[in-house]
Each structure stands twice: as structure tokens, then as C-alpha cells.
Amino acid sequence: GRVSLSALMRYLADRGCNDVLVEAGATLAGSALRSGLVDEWFIYMAPSLMGSSARPLVDWPMSKMAGQQALEIVDIRAVGKDWRIHCRLPALLGEA
């Protein structure tokens, strides 16, 4: 009952859409990342603590620190009281 993200991206590319903005929760964001469909992140961080039961940014199964995905920070700026963090995946920049 879910959409194939790779098929969706091919469909959009065939119609000339080269950039796709995905505003998503942890499940969709994690699926897009694991599918290799993400090259940039814009993370908005509010100055508040959510507690240990808050939802993660990305559904990224990781049992050891070796499973982390490094990000290159491109820009950080204040947006009102929040922070916007623009990141890229180093692997897509030929740095992996």
C-alpha cells in the first residue's frame, strides 16, 4: 500500500521535474534516504526540548555509531527563533 519512491522519482524526471521538495516525517525521510534519493537536507531546529519519547528526524536503523551517515553543513542561519541547517551528503560530492 505504499508508493515506490524510485518509481515516483523516475515518473517526475520523465516529466522534466529535476528538483523535489519533500517535507516529511521520520518514516518517509528515512525511506528516501535509504533509497539514495536525498542529496540535501534543510533541517529546522527549534529551541525546545522534546523529551525521550519524541519522534526522530529520520527512521534510520542504527545500533552502532559506525552506522551513522555523515552530513556536510553548507549553511546555518537563524529563522525567527529557530535555526535552519542546510546539509549535503558527502558521498554525493565525491568525498566518501
Task: State the CATH number of the domain containing residue 87.
Answer: 3.40.430.10
Q: What is the pLDDT of residue 8?
A: 93
What is the rounded end-to-end Cα distance, in angstroms, of the chain?
A: 34
Cα 96 from chain centroid (whole Å): 17
Q: Which domain holds residue 59?
A: 5-93
- 6-63 pLDDT tens trace: 999 999 999 999 899 888 888 998 899 888 898 899 999 999 988 888 888 888 887 8
Q: What is the number of domains present in the chain?
A: 1
Task: Round to whole Å and give the CA distance between 35 and 9.
Answer: 11
**pTM, entire model:** 0.74
